[in-house]
Amino acid sequence: MSEDLDSNFARVVRLAEAAGLPEVTVGTSYGTPALLVKDKSFVRMKDGDTLVVMCALEEKEMLLELDPRLYFQTDHYKGWPAMLVRLSEIDDQSLTGRLVAAWREKAPRRLAASFLEPGQAAPPAL
């Protein structure tokens, strides 16, 4: 692996850990480092500066329009629920938000429903 790929993936892992995402493991997907939840990839490195992030198609279209400096796609990803993120451009807070959203896309429903982000209140008990 290249030095950029190693250091950028280390950043992704660090942010996922800091967010407290449960049931996350480090693995590979398409031969590159990836984060998985329950054996399903939710983000993976494409190259030293590009992260493939799973997301809902509606959200993807909005983000591609909102900030093409950060988010983009190639023909390969058109119509697919994943987008590309420029790691050299995105700040840690925005990247953490993308990691949490991607994790929620791939996590089993019950696990996703049980995850509370920092500062998020638990739903009232019935």
Per-residue model confidence as pLDDT tens digits over 105-115: 999 999 998 88
pLDDT confidence band for 2 (50 / 70 / 90): confident
pLDDT at 120 over 80: no
Residue 34 has pLDDT above 80, yes or no: yes
pLDDT at 3: 82
**Which two three-digit tokens encode residue 122?**
């638990």
Joined together, the tokens standing for residue 31 give 């031969």
Q: Measured between alpha carbons, how far is 13 from 7 in angstroms, rounded to an integer?
A: 10
Closest CA to 50 of 2, 106, 17, 93: 2
Q: How far is CA 112 from CA 12, 41, 78, in A?
A: 19, 15, 26
Phi, psi of 55 (to 5 degrees): -160, 160
Query: Per-residue pLDDT for 14 more than 90?
Result: yes
Spatial contact of 11 and 87, defined as CB atoms under 8 Å apart = yes
pLDDT tens digits for 86-102? 999 999 999 999 999 99
Are the CB atoms for 19 and 100 separated by under 8 Å? yes
